[in-house]
Amino acid sequence: YDSLFLDGESLEENQAVIDMLGDLQDKSVLDVGCGTGLLLDYALPQRYTGIDPSHAMLERLLQKHPKQRGTVLCTPLRSFVGGRYDVIIALFGAASYLTYEELQRIPDLLVPGGRYFLMFYKEGYVPITHIKAGIHPATKTFDGSLPGAVQEYHNFVIVEGGV
């Protein structure tokens, strides 16, 4: 999976998104749809929790970042029981797989003054991973169900907000 995104353009895009997140060093972060640990490839928050429904993705994350064992959980957001966080992220389309109910939980998982950074696929965009795998899972673009600043970035719609 990671090998699909090692070209110069993908690496620049990754770095640009990490830069948009700002300094996470002293923050607690919930990484929704953490996959293989892209955030951890670039930044190490003070307290990290990653959730993803895919065992295979989490196994790859732990191969790359073995010290994170115990901080990643194979669970969807709807089943997640955890603390509250300074920052909640869902990078590179991960937010497109969340249900309306899961999106509505996000503000409740933030500490006062916390913020979220969610990346949805743009309408009509099909990720290369879906094309190569020959799959077409149901995804959605941002529907306005959370307040926040909305901007487009490449094939994504980014929503940033807070409590």
pLDDT at 38 over 70: yes
Mean pLDDT of 13-28: 95
d(CA 163, CA 67): 31
What are the tens digits of pLDDT across the range 104-161?
999 999 999 999 999 999 988 877 766 776 777 767 788 888 999 999 999 999 999 9
Specify whether the CB–CB gap between 110 and 84 falls below 8 A.
Answer: yes
What domains, with CATH codes, occur in the chain?
A: 2-162 (3.40.50.150)
Taking Cα atoms as reference points, which of 56, 83, 87 lies closest to residue 71? 83
| pLDDT bucket at 4, cuts 50 / 70 / 90 | low
Q: Which residues pair with residue 150 across a beta bridge?
A: 159
Looking at residue 115, its pLDDT comes to 98
The CB density around residue 123, as the number of other CB atoms within 10 Å, is 9
